[in-house]
A and B are shown apart, each in its own frame.
Chain A
Amino acid sequence: MTKKYTGGKIFTALTYVFLYAPIIVLIVFSFNSTKSRTIWSGFTLNWYKELFSDRLIMSSLQTTLLVSVVASLVAAVIGTFAAIGFYNMKKNWRGPLLTVNNIPVINADIITGVSLSLLFVSAGALMGFELGFGTLLIAHISFDIPYVILSVMPKLYQLDRNLFEASQDLGCTWFQTVYKVIIPEIMPGIINGLLIAFTMSVDDFVISYFTAGSSVQTLSMTIYAMTRRRISPKINAISTLLFAVVLILLVIVNVRESRQHKAELKKEKMLKGAN
Protein backbone atom coordinates (compact mmCIF):
# COMPACT_ATOMS: atom_id res chain seq x y z
CA MET A 1 0.00 0.00 0.00
CA THR A 2 2.71 2.47 0.99
CA LYS A 3 4.97 1.35 -1.82
CA LYS A 4 2.32 2.10 -4.41
CA TYR A 5 2.58 5.87 -3.95
CA THR A 6 6.39 6.17 -3.81
CA GLY A 7 6.51 7.62 -7.32
CA GLY A 8 3.99 10.28 -6.39
CA LYS A 9 5.94 11.13 -3.26
CA ILE A 10 9.21 11.55 -5.15
CA PHE A 11 7.47 13.72 -7.75
CA THR A 12 5.95 15.84 -4.97
CA ALA A 13 9.32 16.23 -3.28
CA LEU A 14 10.85 17.38 -6.59
CA THR A 15 8.06 19.92 -6.99
CA TYR A 16 8.86 21.34 -3.57
CA VAL A 17 12.52 21.57 -4.56
CA PHE A 18 11.39 23.48 -7.65
CA LEU A 19 9.26 25.82 -5.51
CA TYR A 20 11.97 26.52 -2.97
CA ALA A 21 15.20 26.50 -5.00
CA PRO A 22 15.00 30.13 -6.11
CA ILE A 23 14.00 31.27 -2.64
CA ILE A 24 16.94 29.49 -1.07
CA VAL A 25 19.28 31.04 -3.65
CA LEU A 26 17.80 34.43 -2.84
CA ILE A 27 18.35 33.96 0.88
CA VAL A 28 21.87 32.54 0.56
CA PHE A 29 23.05 35.40 -1.63
CA SER A 30 21.71 38.01 0.77
CA PHE A 31 24.72 37.06 2.92
CA ASN A 32 27.22 37.25 0.05
CA SER A 33 30.09 39.65 0.56
CA THR A 34 30.25 40.86 -3.05
CA LYS A 35 27.50 42.17 -5.27
CA SER A 36 27.47 39.02 -7.41
CA ARG A 37 24.23 37.04 -7.52
CA THR A 38 25.95 33.89 -8.69
CA ILE A 39 29.48 33.66 -7.23
CA TRP A 40 29.81 33.04 -3.52
CA SER A 41 32.67 35.00 -1.99
CA GLY A 42 32.15 35.03 1.75
CA PHE A 43 29.68 35.76 4.51
CA THR A 44 28.59 39.25 5.44
CA LEU A 45 25.70 41.07 7.07
CA ASN A 46 26.55 44.35 5.34
CA TRP A 47 23.51 44.30 3.04
CA TYR A 48 21.22 44.16 6.04
CA LYS A 49 22.99 47.13 7.62
CA GLU A 50 22.85 49.11 4.39
CA LEU A 51 19.22 48.18 3.94
CA PHE A 52 18.17 50.09 7.01
CA SER A 53 20.03 53.20 5.95
CA ASP A 54 18.60 53.09 2.42
CA ARG A 55 16.01 55.84 2.49
CA LEU A 56 14.23 54.80 -0.69
CA ILE A 57 13.67 51.24 0.50
CA MET A 58 12.67 52.33 3.99
CA SER A 59 10.20 54.96 2.79
CA SER A 60 8.63 52.55 0.29
CA LEU A 61 8.39 49.88 2.99
CA GLN A 62 6.59 52.46 5.10
CA THR A 63 4.21 53.30 2.24
CA THR A 64 3.47 49.62 1.69
CA LEU A 65 2.74 48.98 5.35
CA LEU A 66 0.64 52.12 5.74
CA VAL A 67 -1.41 51.44 2.61
CA SER A 68 -1.89 47.76 3.49
CA VAL A 69 -2.88 48.36 7.10
CA VAL A 70 -5.29 51.23 6.35
CA ALA A 71 -6.74 49.58 3.24
CA SER A 72 -7.32 46.21 4.91
CA LEU A 73 -8.91 47.78 7.99
CA VAL A 74 -11.22 50.00 5.94
CA ALA A 75 -12.00 47.04 3.70
CA ALA A 76 -12.80 44.89 6.73
CA VAL A 77 -15.32 47.46 8.00
CA ILE A 78 -17.00 48.22 4.67
CA GLY A 79 -16.85 44.56 3.63
CA THR A 80 -18.39 43.24 6.86
CA PHE A 81 -21.28 45.68 6.69
CA ALA A 82 -21.74 44.99 3.00
CA ALA A 83 -21.81 41.24 3.64
CA ILE A 84 -24.47 41.68 6.35
CA GLY A 85 -26.47 43.85 3.95
CA PHE A 86 -26.14 41.33 1.11
CA TYR A 87 -27.19 38.56 3.48
CA ASN A 88 -30.47 40.37 4.15
CA MET A 89 -31.14 41.13 0.52
CA LYS A 90 -33.52 39.32 -1.77
CA LYS A 91 -31.74 36.76 -3.88
CA ASN A 92 -32.45 38.49 -7.19
CA TRP A 93 -30.55 41.56 -5.91
CA ARG A 94 -27.84 39.70 -4.05
CA GLY A 95 -26.82 37.52 -6.99
CA PRO A 96 -25.87 40.27 -9.44
CA LEU A 97 -24.23 42.38 -6.74
CA LEU A 98 -22.06 39.46 -5.64
CA THR A 99 -21.09 38.93 -9.28
CA VAL A 100 -19.93 42.55 -9.50
CA ASN A 101 -18.13 42.01 -6.21
CA ASN A 102 -16.22 39.10 -7.77
CA ILE A 103 -15.01 41.13 -10.74
CA PRO A 104 -11.80 42.44 -9.15
CA VAL A 105 -11.00 38.95 -7.83
CA ILE A 106 -11.35 37.20 -11.16
CA ASN A 107 -10.26 39.95 -13.52
CA ALA A 108 -6.62 40.24 -14.49
CA ASP A 109 -4.76 42.62 -12.18
CA ILE A 110 -3.53 44.67 -15.10
CA ILE A 111 -7.10 45.42 -16.19
CA THR A 112 -8.17 46.40 -12.69
CA GLY A 113 -5.12 48.66 -12.48
CA VAL A 114 -5.48 50.18 -15.90
CA SER A 115 -9.22 50.81 -15.57
CA LEU A 116 -8.76 52.51 -12.17
CA SER A 117 -5.96 54.63 -13.58
CA LEU A 118 -8.28 55.75 -16.39
CA LEU A 119 -10.85 56.76 -13.78
CA PHE A 120 -8.34 58.57 -11.57
CA VAL A 121 -6.67 60.36 -14.46
CA SER A 122 -9.94 61.59 -15.97
CA ALA A 123 -11.49 62.47 -12.59
CA GLY A 124 -8.23 64.18 -11.66
CA ALA A 125 -8.31 66.26 -14.82
CA LEU A 126 -11.85 67.36 -13.95
CA MET A 127 -11.39 67.98 -10.25
CA GLY A 128 -7.78 68.96 -10.17
CA PHE A 129 -5.91 66.20 -8.34
CA GLU A 130 -3.05 63.93 -9.32
CA LEU A 131 -2.32 60.27 -8.82
CA GLY A 132 -0.76 59.74 -5.42
CA PHE A 133 -1.26 58.16 -2.02
CA GLY A 134 -5.00 58.81 -2.07
CA THR A 135 -5.62 57.05 -5.37
CA LEU A 136 -3.31 54.21 -4.31
CA LEU A 137 -5.31 53.77 -1.10
CA ILE A 138 -8.67 53.78 -2.92
CA ALA A 139 -7.37 51.18 -5.37
CA HIS A 140 -6.18 48.94 -2.53
CA ILE A 141 -9.45 49.26 -0.62
CA SER A 142 -11.33 48.38 -3.82
CA PHE A 143 -9.51 45.12 -4.44
CA ASP A 144 -9.39 44.23 -0.73
CA ILE A 145 -13.14 44.44 -0.01
CA PRO A 146 -14.14 41.44 -2.20
CA TYR A 147 -11.81 39.17 -0.21
CA VAL A 148 -13.39 40.31 3.05
CA ILE A 149 -16.88 39.67 1.68
CA LEU A 150 -15.92 36.26 0.30
CA SER A 151 -14.61 35.31 3.70
CA VAL A 152 -17.48 36.78 5.77
CA MET A 153 -20.44 35.53 3.66
CA PRO A 154 -19.97 31.81 4.45
CA LYS A 155 -19.81 32.62 8.18
CA LEU A 156 -23.12 34.49 7.89
CA TYR A 157 -24.74 31.51 6.22
CA GLN A 158 -23.53 29.29 9.04
CA LEU A 159 -25.35 31.52 11.55
CA ASP A 160 -28.53 30.27 13.12
CA ARG A 161 -31.21 32.76 12.07
CA ASN A 162 -33.10 32.03 15.29
CA LEU A 163 -30.19 33.51 17.18
CA PHE A 164 -30.75 37.04 16.06
CA GLU A 165 -34.50 36.69 15.92
CA ALA A 166 -34.24 35.76 19.57
CA SER A 167 -32.15 38.80 20.31
CA GLN A 168 -34.70 41.02 18.59
CA ASP A 169 -37.55 39.35 20.44
CA LEU A 170 -35.69 40.11 23.64
CA GLY A 171 -35.76 43.77 22.76
CA CYS A 172 -32.56 44.40 20.83
CA THR A 173 -32.79 46.87 17.98
CA TRP A 174 -31.36 45.73 14.66
CA PHE A 175 -28.15 47.67 15.28
CA GLN A 176 -27.75 46.13 18.70
CA THR A 177 -28.31 42.71 17.18
CA VAL A 178 -25.57 43.40 14.67
CA TYR A 179 -23.06 44.59 17.26
CA LYS A 180 -23.90 42.16 20.04
CA VAL A 181 -24.83 39.00 18.19
CA ILE A 182 -23.85 38.93 14.53
CA ILE A 183 -20.42 40.55 14.58
CA PRO A 184 -19.06 38.49 17.50
CA GLU A 185 -20.33 35.33 15.77
CA ILE A 186 -18.71 36.10 12.41
CA MET A 187 -15.49 37.50 13.90
CA PRO A 188 -13.30 34.60 12.69
CA GLY A 189 -14.47 35.31 9.13
CA ILE A 190 -13.73 39.02 9.50
CA ILE A 191 -10.24 38.36 10.86
CA ASN A 192 -9.57 35.84 8.09
CA GLY A 193 -10.76 38.34 5.48
CA LEU A 194 -8.64 41.07 7.03
CA LEU A 195 -5.54 38.89 6.85
CA ILE A 196 -6.20 37.90 3.24
CA ALA A 197 -6.81 41.55 2.32
CA PHE A 198 -3.61 42.58 4.07
CA THR A 199 -1.47 39.99 2.29
CA MET A 200 -3.07 40.89 -1.04
CA SER A 201 -2.19 44.53 -0.43
CA VAL A 202 1.39 43.82 0.63
CA ASP A 203 1.94 41.50 -2.31
CA ASP A 204 0.34 43.73 -4.92
CA PHE A 205 2.51 45.27 -7.57
CA VAL A 206 0.50 45.62 -10.78
CA ILE A 207 -2.46 47.62 -9.47
CA SER A 208 -0.22 49.92 -7.39
CA TYR A 209 2.02 50.45 -10.40
CA PHE A 210 -0.86 51.92 -12.41
CA THR A 211 -2.59 53.88 -9.65
CA ALA A 212 0.18 55.36 -7.47
CA GLY A 213 1.51 57.92 -9.93
CA SER A 214 5.11 59.05 -9.69
CA SER A 215 5.06 60.68 -6.26
CA VAL A 216 4.67 57.60 -4.07
CA GLN A 217 6.25 54.16 -4.33
CA THR A 218 5.34 50.92 -2.65
CA LEU A 219 8.02 48.36 -1.88
CA SER A 220 7.02 46.27 -4.89
CA MET A 221 7.39 49.29 -7.13
CA THR A 222 10.84 50.02 -5.74
CA ILE A 223 11.86 46.42 -6.26
CA TYR A 224 10.55 46.53 -9.81
CA ALA A 225 12.47 49.73 -10.54
CA MET A 226 15.60 48.10 -9.11
CA THR A 227 15.30 44.93 -11.16
CA ARG A 228 15.05 47.12 -14.25
CA ARG A 229 18.28 48.93 -13.41
CA ARG A 230 21.27 47.95 -11.33
CA ILE A 231 20.42 45.15 -8.97
CA SER A 232 21.56 45.41 -5.39
CA PRO A 233 21.84 42.50 -2.94
CA LYS A 234 19.85 44.70 -0.61
CA ILE A 235 16.84 43.30 -2.48
CA ASN A 236 17.87 39.83 -1.37
CA ALA A 237 18.27 41.08 2.18
CA ILE A 238 14.84 42.65 2.35
CA SER A 239 13.19 39.63 0.78
CA THR A 240 14.88 37.37 3.32
CA LEU A 241 13.56 39.54 6.12
CA LEU A 242 10.04 39.50 4.65
CA PHE A 243 10.24 35.73 4.25
CA ALA A 244 11.28 35.38 7.89
CA VAL A 245 8.39 37.57 9.05
CA VAL A 246 5.86 35.59 7.01
CA LEU A 247 7.28 32.30 8.23
CA ILE A 248 7.06 33.37 11.87
CA LEU A 249 3.51 34.68 11.43
CA LEU A 250 2.44 31.45 9.75
CA VAL A 251 3.92 29.32 12.51
CA ILE A 252 2.16 31.42 15.16
CA VAL A 253 -1.18 31.28 13.35
CA ASN A 254 -0.83 27.56 12.78
CA VAL A 255 0.05 26.74 16.35
CA ARG A 256 -2.85 28.88 17.56
CA GLU A 257 -5.26 27.20 15.17
CA SER A 258 -4.23 23.68 16.10
CA ARG A 259 -4.60 24.62 19.76
CA GLN A 260 -8.10 25.94 19.11
CA HIS A 261 -8.86 22.77 17.19
CA LYS A 262 -7.73 20.63 20.10
CA ALA A 263 -9.77 22.72 22.54
CA GLU A 264 -12.84 22.26 20.36
CA LEU A 265 -12.31 18.50 20.23
CA LYS A 266 -12.02 18.45 24.00
CA LYS A 267 -15.21 20.47 24.36
CA GLU A 268 -17.06 18.09 22.07
CA LYS A 269 -15.85 15.12 24.08
CA MET A 270 -16.97 16.72 27.32
CA LEU A 271 -20.38 17.52 25.87
CA LYS A 272 -20.77 13.95 24.73
CA GLY A 273 -19.72 12.78 28.17
CA ALA A 274 -22.35 15.01 29.78
CA ASN A 275 -25.05 13.49 27.62
Chain B
Amino acid sequence: MSKNKVFSGALRAVGGFFDRFRKQSFAYPYVLWMALFVVVPIILIAVYAFTSAQGHFTLGNFSGMIDYVPVFVRSLWLAFLATVICIIIGYPVALAISRMNPRTQRVLIMLIMLPMWINFLLRTYAWMSLLENTGLINRLLGAVGVFDLINSLHAGDAAYTPITHFQLINTNGAVILGMVYNYLPFMILPIQSVIVKIDPFVIEAAEDLGANSRTVFRKVILPLSLSGVVSGITMVFVPAVSTFVISKLLSNGTVMLLGDLIEMQFAGAAYNPHLGSAISLIMMVIVVICMSLMNRFGEGEEQAVMM
Protein backbone atom coordinates (compact mmCIF):
# COMPACT_ATOMS: atom_id res chain seq x y z
CA MET B 1 0.00 0.00 0.00
CA SER B 2 1.48 3.32 -1.01
CA LYS B 3 1.78 6.21 1.35
CA ASN B 4 -0.48 8.20 -0.86
CA LYS B 5 -3.30 5.69 -0.53
CA VAL B 6 -3.01 5.60 3.23
CA PHE B 7 -3.09 9.35 3.31
CA SER B 8 -6.15 9.65 1.11
CA GLY B 9 -7.86 6.88 3.08
CA ALA B 10 -7.23 8.74 6.31
CA LEU B 11 -8.45 11.92 4.69
CA ARG B 12 -11.63 10.19 3.62
CA ALA B 13 -12.15 8.80 7.11
CA VAL B 14 -11.72 12.25 8.62
CA GLY B 15 -13.93 13.69 5.90
CA GLY B 16 -16.54 11.05 6.59
CA PHE B 17 -16.46 11.89 10.25
CA PHE B 18 -16.96 15.57 9.52
CA ASP B 19 -19.62 14.77 6.97
CA ARG B 20 -21.59 12.72 9.46
CA PHE B 21 -20.98 15.35 12.12
CA ARG B 22 -22.31 18.07 9.85
CA LYS B 23 -25.35 16.06 8.88
CA GLN B 24 -26.32 15.02 12.37
CA SER B 25 -25.53 18.46 13.78
CA PHE B 26 -29.05 19.44 12.69
CA ALA B 27 -30.30 17.55 15.71
CA TYR B 28 -28.00 19.20 18.25
CA PRO B 29 -30.22 22.19 19.11
CA TYR B 30 -33.05 19.82 19.88
CA VAL B 31 -30.80 17.48 21.85
CA LEU B 32 -29.90 20.47 24.00
CA TRP B 33 -33.58 21.40 24.23
CA MET B 34 -34.51 17.88 25.33
CA ALA B 35 -31.76 17.89 27.95
CA LEU B 36 -33.05 21.17 29.35
CA PHE B 37 -36.80 20.70 29.13
CA VAL B 38 -37.32 16.95 29.28
CA VAL B 39 -34.44 15.38 31.18
CA VAL B 40 -33.66 18.11 33.73
CA PRO B 41 -37.32 18.50 34.82
CA ILE B 42 -37.58 14.76 35.45
CA ILE B 43 -34.34 14.80 37.44
CA LEU B 44 -35.79 17.73 39.40
CA ILE B 45 -38.82 15.62 40.29
CA ALA B 46 -36.51 12.93 41.66
CA VAL B 47 -34.46 15.53 43.56
CA TYR B 48 -37.57 17.11 45.09
CA ALA B 49 -38.99 13.71 45.97
CA PHE B 50 -35.94 12.83 48.08
CA THR B 51 -35.43 16.20 49.77
CA SER B 52 -37.23 18.13 52.49
CA ALA B 53 -38.29 21.77 52.29
CA GLN B 54 -34.97 22.65 53.97
CA GLY B 55 -33.07 20.90 51.19
CA HIS B 56 -31.87 17.88 53.19
CA PHE B 57 -32.04 14.32 51.97
CA THR B 58 -35.11 12.55 53.32
CA LEU B 59 -37.36 9.57 52.72
CA GLY B 60 -40.15 11.27 54.64
CA ASN B 61 -42.06 12.16 51.50
CA PHE B 62 -42.48 8.47 50.77
CA SER B 63 -43.21 7.30 54.29
CA GLY B 64 -45.92 9.96 54.56
CA MET B 65 -47.59 8.35 51.62
CA ILE B 66 -49.07 5.52 53.68
CA ASP B 67 -52.02 7.86 54.27
CA TYR B 68 -52.64 8.02 50.56
CA VAL B 69 -52.73 4.30 49.87
CA PRO B 70 -56.53 4.43 49.44
CA VAL B 71 -56.11 7.14 46.80
CA PHE B 72 -53.56 5.01 44.94
CA VAL B 73 -55.81 1.97 45.11
CA ARG B 74 -58.88 3.94 44.00
CA SER B 75 -57.02 5.59 41.10
CA LEU B 76 -55.58 2.32 39.84
CA TRP B 77 -58.90 0.52 40.26
CA LEU B 78 -61.02 3.17 38.49
CA ALA B 79 -58.46 3.52 35.67
CA PHE B 80 -58.35 -0.28 35.36
CA LEU B 81 -62.16 -0.52 35.14
CA ALA B 82 -62.26 2.32 32.60
CA THR B 83 -59.61 0.55 30.50
CA VAL B 84 -61.50 -2.76 30.61
CA ILE B 85 -64.75 -1.05 29.61
CA CYS B 86 -62.90 0.72 26.79
CA ILE B 87 -61.70 -2.66 25.48
CA ILE B 88 -65.18 -4.19 25.78
CA ILE B 89 -66.74 -1.31 23.85
CA GLY B 90 -63.78 -0.41 21.66
CA TYR B 91 -62.79 -3.80 20.26
CA PRO B 92 -66.16 -4.73 18.71
CA VAL B 93 -66.53 -1.19 17.34
CA ALA B 94 -63.02 -1.29 15.83
CA LEU B 95 -63.80 -4.70 14.34
CA ALA B 96 -67.14 -3.54 12.95
CA ILE B 97 -65.58 -0.42 11.43
CA SER B 98 -62.78 -2.38 9.79
CA ARG B 99 -65.34 -4.61 8.06
CA MET B 100 -66.97 -1.72 6.22
CA ASN B 101 -65.87 -0.49 2.81
CA PRO B 102 -62.86 1.89 2.81
CA ARG B 103 -64.91 5.01 2.15
CA THR B 104 -67.29 4.41 5.06
CA GLN B 105 -64.31 3.52 7.22
CA ARG B 106 -62.72 6.87 6.52
CA VAL B 107 -65.86 8.75 7.51
CA LEU B 108 -66.39 6.65 10.63
CA ILE B 109 -62.79 7.15 11.76
CA MET B 110 -63.13 10.88 11.23
CA LEU B 111 -66.27 10.80 13.36
CA ILE B 112 -64.36 9.00 16.11
CA MET B 113 -61.63 11.63 16.03
CA LEU B 114 -63.92 14.64 15.78
CA PRO B 115 -64.91 14.76 19.48
CA MET B 116 -61.21 14.56 20.39
CA TRP B 117 -60.80 17.98 18.79
CA ILE B 118 -63.30 19.52 21.13
CA ASN B 119 -61.68 20.67 24.31
CA PHE B 120 -61.94 17.78 26.73
CA LEU B 121 -62.99 20.08 29.54
CA LEU B 122 -66.03 20.98 27.49
CA ARG B 123 -66.83 17.38 26.72
CA THR B 124 -66.62 16.46 30.37
CA TYR B 125 -68.59 19.55 31.33
CA ALA B 126 -71.34 18.46 28.93
CA TRP B 127 -71.70 15.27 30.93
CA MET B 128 -72.43 17.37 33.99
CA SER B 129 -75.62 18.63 32.33
CA LEU B 130 -76.61 15.07 31.57
CA LEU B 131 -75.80 13.47 34.92
CA GLU B 132 -76.94 16.09 37.43
CA ASN B 133 -79.79 15.30 39.82
CA THR B 134 -81.97 17.67 37.81
CA GLY B 135 -80.03 16.78 34.65
CA LEU B 136 -81.33 15.54 31.36
CA ILE B 137 -81.06 11.82 32.11
CA ASN B 138 -82.95 12.06 35.39
CA ARG B 139 -85.49 14.36 33.73
CA LEU B 140 -86.01 11.89 30.93
CA LEU B 141 -86.40 8.97 33.35
CA GLY B 142 -88.87 11.04 35.35
CA ALA B 143 -90.88 11.94 32.28
CA VAL B 144 -91.11 8.29 31.23
CA GLY B 145 -92.36 7.49 34.72
CA VAL B 146 -89.50 5.38 36.03
CA PHE B 147 -89.45 7.05 39.45
CA ASP B 148 -93.26 6.84 39.81
CA LEU B 149 -93.02 3.15 39.03
CA ILE B 150 -90.30 2.55 41.62
CA ASN B 151 -92.17 4.59 44.20
CA SER B 152 -95.40 2.73 43.58
CA LEU B 153 -93.61 -0.57 44.17
CA HIS B 154 -92.88 0.62 47.69
CA ALA B 155 -96.40 2.02 48.24
CA GLY B 156 -97.09 0.05 51.39
CA ASP B 157 -93.73 0.76 53.02
CA ALA B 158 -94.07 3.54 55.62
CA ALA B 159 -90.30 3.99 56.10
CA TYR B 160 -89.81 4.52 52.39
CA THR B 161 -89.05 8.00 51.09
CA PRO B 162 -90.06 8.46 47.47
CA ILE B 163 -87.18 9.11 45.08
CA THR B 164 -87.15 11.86 42.50
CA HIS B 165 -83.84 11.06 40.85
CA PHE B 166 -80.97 8.59 40.67
CA GLN B 167 -77.69 9.76 42.13
CA LEU B 168 -75.55 9.73 38.99
CA ILE B 169 -73.10 12.60 39.40
CA ASN B 170 -70.55 12.64 42.25
CA THR B 171 -70.13 8.86 42.15
CA ASN B 172 -67.31 6.52 41.14
CA GLY B 173 -69.51 5.52 38.23
CA ALA B 174 -69.61 9.09 36.93
CA VAL B 175 -65.82 9.31 37.06
CA ILE B 176 -65.44 6.00 35.19
CA LEU B 177 -67.96 7.19 32.63
CA GLY B 178 -65.95 10.37 32.14
CA MET B 179 -62.78 8.37 31.61
CA VAL B 180 -64.42 5.96 29.16
CA TYR B 181 -66.01 8.81 27.26
CA ASN B 182 -62.82 10.82 26.94
CA TYR B 183 -60.40 8.01 26.18
CA LEU B 184 -62.49 5.52 24.17
CA PRO B 185 -61.19 6.90 20.85
CA PHE B 186 -57.64 6.08 21.99
CA MET B 187 -58.72 2.45 22.24
CA ILE B 188 -60.73 2.22 19.03
CA LEU B 189 -58.19 3.92 16.72
CA PRO B 190 -55.10 1.75 17.34
CA ILE B 191 -57.13 -1.48 17.28
CA GLN B 192 -58.86 -0.52 14.05
CA SER B 193 -55.57 0.48 12.40
CA VAL B 194 -54.06 -2.90 13.24
CA ILE B 195 -57.07 -4.96 12.13
CA VAL B 196 -57.25 -3.12 8.81
CA LYS B 197 -53.63 -4.05 8.10
CA ILE B 198 -54.26 -7.78 8.46
CA ASP B 199 -53.70 -9.37 5.08
CA PRO B 200 -57.10 -10.56 3.77
CA PHE B 201 -55.34 -13.55 2.17
CA VAL B 202 -54.36 -14.79 5.63
CA ILE B 203 -58.03 -14.84 6.60
CA GLU B 204 -58.97 -16.43 3.30
CA ALA B 205 -56.30 -19.07 3.80
CA ALA B 206 -57.69 -19.88 7.23
CA GLU B 207 -61.17 -20.19 5.74
CA ASP B 208 -59.92 -22.40 2.92
CA LEU B 209 -58.29 -24.62 5.49
CA GLY B 210 -61.68 -25.15 7.10
CA ALA B 211 -61.85 -22.59 9.89
CA ASN B 212 -65.29 -21.17 10.58
CA SER B 213 -65.65 -17.45 11.26
CA ARG B 214 -65.31 -18.01 15.00
CA THR B 215 -62.05 -19.90 14.66
CA VAL B 216 -60.78 -17.31 12.19
CA PHE B 217 -61.42 -14.63 14.77
CA ARG B 218 -59.91 -16.58 17.65
CA LYS B 219 -56.85 -17.93 15.84
CA VAL B 220 -56.09 -15.21 13.28
CA ILE B 221 -57.70 -11.82 13.89
CA LEU B 222 -57.45 -11.70 17.66
CA PRO B 223 -53.75 -12.62 17.95
CA LEU B 224 -52.81 -10.29 15.09
CA SER B 225 -54.72 -7.38 16.64
CA LEU B 226 -53.27 -7.71 20.12
CA SER B 227 -50.57 -5.11 19.47
CA GLY B 228 -53.32 -2.57 18.82
CA VAL B 229 -55.08 -3.54 22.04
CA VAL B 230 -51.83 -3.16 23.97
CA SER B 231 -51.12 0.33 22.69
CA GLY B 232 -54.78 1.18 23.30
CA ILE B 233 -54.45 0.02 26.90
CA THR B 234 -51.51 2.35 27.56
CA MET B 235 -53.15 5.24 25.80
CA VAL B 236 -56.26 4.85 27.96
CA PHE B 237 -54.73 3.77 31.25
CA VAL B 238 -52.01 6.44 31.54
CA PRO B 239 -54.27 9.48 31.16
CA ALA B 240 -57.04 7.81 33.18
CA VAL B 241 -54.81 7.06 36.16
CA SER B 242 -53.39 10.59 36.16
CA THR B 243 -56.50 12.68 35.53
CA PHE B 244 -57.66 15.34 37.92
CA VAL B 245 -60.08 17.21 35.69
CA ILE B 246 -62.56 14.37 35.22
CA SER B 247 -62.75 13.62 38.93
CA LYS B 248 -63.05 17.32 39.82
CA LEU B 249 -65.85 17.99 37.37
CA LEU B 250 -67.85 14.79 37.65
CA SER B 251 -67.45 14.15 41.37
CA ASN B 252 -67.00 17.69 42.69
CA GLY B 253 -64.06 16.51 44.78
CA THR B 254 -65.83 13.57 46.40
CA VAL B 255 -63.77 11.02 44.44
CA MET B 256 -60.12 11.83 45.08
CA LEU B 257 -57.62 10.45 42.56
CA LEU B 258 -53.82 10.53 42.22
CA GLY B 259 -54.04 13.46 39.82
CA ASP B 260 -56.06 15.46 42.35
CA LEU B 261 -53.47 14.67 44.99
CA ILE B 262 -50.59 15.89 42.81
CA GLU B 263 -52.52 18.93 41.64
CA MET B 264 -53.20 19.89 45.28
CA GLN B 265 -49.49 19.75 46.10
CA PHE B 266 -48.51 22.01 43.22
CA ALA B 267 -51.41 24.34 42.56
CA GLY B 268 -53.77 23.88 45.46
CA ALA B 269 -53.97 25.01 49.05
CA ALA B 270 -51.71 22.23 50.36
CA TYR B 271 -48.62 23.52 48.54
CA ASN B 272 -45.91 20.89 49.02
CA PRO B 273 -43.89 20.20 45.84
CA HIS B 274 -41.72 17.66 47.68
CA LEU B 275 -44.63 15.37 48.49
CA GLY B 276 -46.11 16.11 45.06
CA SER B 277 -42.85 15.06 43.41
CA ALA B 278 -42.75 11.84 45.41
CA ILE B 279 -46.28 10.95 44.27
CA SER B 280 -45.39 11.93 40.68
CA LEU B 281 -42.30 9.74 40.83
CA ILE B 282 -44.35 6.72 41.85
CA MET B 283 -46.86 7.46 39.15
CA MET B 284 -44.03 7.69 36.64
CA VAL B 285 -42.86 4.24 37.70
CA ILE B 286 -46.36 3.00 36.95
CA VAL B 287 -46.18 4.64 33.51
CA VAL B 288 -42.77 3.11 32.82
CA ILE B 289 -44.07 -0.34 33.75
CA CYS B 290 -46.96 0.16 31.35
CA MET B 291 -44.60 1.33 28.64
CA SER B 292 -42.26 -1.61 28.96
CA LEU B 293 -45.22 -3.99 28.91
CA MET B 294 -46.43 -2.28 25.79
CA ASN B 295 -43.04 -2.49 24.13
CA ARG B 296 -42.89 -6.17 24.91
CA PHE B 297 -46.19 -6.88 23.16
CA GLY B 298 -46.84 -4.09 20.70
CA GLU B 299 -44.93 -2.22 18.10
CA GLY B 300 -45.02 1.04 19.98
CA GLU B 301 -47.10 4.12 20.16
CA GLU B 302 -45.77 5.88 17.12
CA GLN B 303 -48.24 4.37 14.72
CA ALA B 304 -51.17 4.96 17.00
CA VAL B 305 -50.15 8.56 17.51
CA MET B 306 -49.60 9.15 13.85
CA MET B 307 -53.10 8.31 12.78
Contact = CB atoms under 8 A, between A and B. Distances in A.
A105 B301 contact: yes
Contacts of A141: 33
A185 to B, nearest CB: 15
Interface of B: 19-20, 22-31, 33-34, 37-42, 44-45, 48, 89, 92-93, 95-97, 99, 106, 108, 110-112, 114-123, 125-130, 132, 134-136, 139, 181, 184-185, 213, 234, 238-239, 241-245, 248-249, 259, 262-263, 266-267, 273, 276-277, 280, 283-284, 287, 291, 301-302, 305-306
Contact of A26 (B117, B120, B122, B259): B122
Given A100-B38, A101-B34, A223-B125, A88 B24 contact: yes
Contacts of A246: 114, 117-118
A185 B29 CA distance: 23
Interface in A178-236: 178, 196, 199, 202-203, 205-206, 209-210, 219-220, 223-224, 227-228, 231, 235
Given A29-B129, A85-B30, A147-B305, A203 B114 contact: no
Given A22-B181, A89-B27, A223-B121, A109 B239 contact: yes
Nearest to A12: B96
Contacts of A89: 24, 27
* In the A-B complex, the 7 residue pairs with the closest CB atoms: A85-B27, A22-B126, A115-B41, A85-B26, A108-B242, A82-B30, A88-B23
Nearest to A251: B110
A118 B122 contact: no
B115 A20 contact: yes
Nearest to A100: B34
A112 to B, nearest CB: 8
A103 B26 contact: no
B306 A151 contact: yes
Most-contacted residue by chain B among A38, A174, A178, A219 (CB, 10 A):
A38
Nearest to A148: B30
Interface string A95-136: 001001111111111111011111101100000000000000
A38 B132 contact: yes
Interface of A is mostly: helix
Overall SS of chain B's interface = helix
A269 to B, nearest CB: 18
B119 A239 contact: yes
A114 B119 contact: no
B303 to A, nearest CB: 9
B263 A110 contact: yes
A8 interface: yes
A82 B134 CA distance: 53
Contacts of A21: 130
Contact of A239 (B20, B25, B97, B118): B118
Interface string A66-103: 00000000000011011111101110010001001111
A140 to B, nearest CB: 11
B282 to A, nearest CB: 11
Interface of A: 4-5, 8-9, 11-12, 15-16, 18-23, 25-26, 29, 37-38, 78-79, 81-86, 88-90, 93, 97, 100-112, 114-119, 121-122, 138-139, 141-142, 145, 147, 150-151, 154, 174, 178, 196, 199, 202-203, 205-206, 209-210, 219-220, 223-224, 227-228, 231, 235, 239, 242-243, 246-247, 250, 254
6 contacts: A9-B96, A12-B96, A22-B127, A25-B136, A205-B245, A231-B125
A206 B33 CA distance: 21
Contacts of A18: 181
A26 B126 contact: yes
A262 to B, nearest CB: 12
A4 B121 CA distance: 39
B78 to A, nearest CB: 15
Contacts of B245: 205-206, 224
A8 B48 contact: no
A81 B184 CA distance: 34
Contacts of A119: 37, 40-41, 44
Contact of A108 (B276, B277, B287): B287
Nearest to A189: B306
Of the candidates A37, A101, A110, A142, the one having the most CB atoms from chain B within 10 angstroms of its own CB is A110
Contacts of A100: 34, 38-39
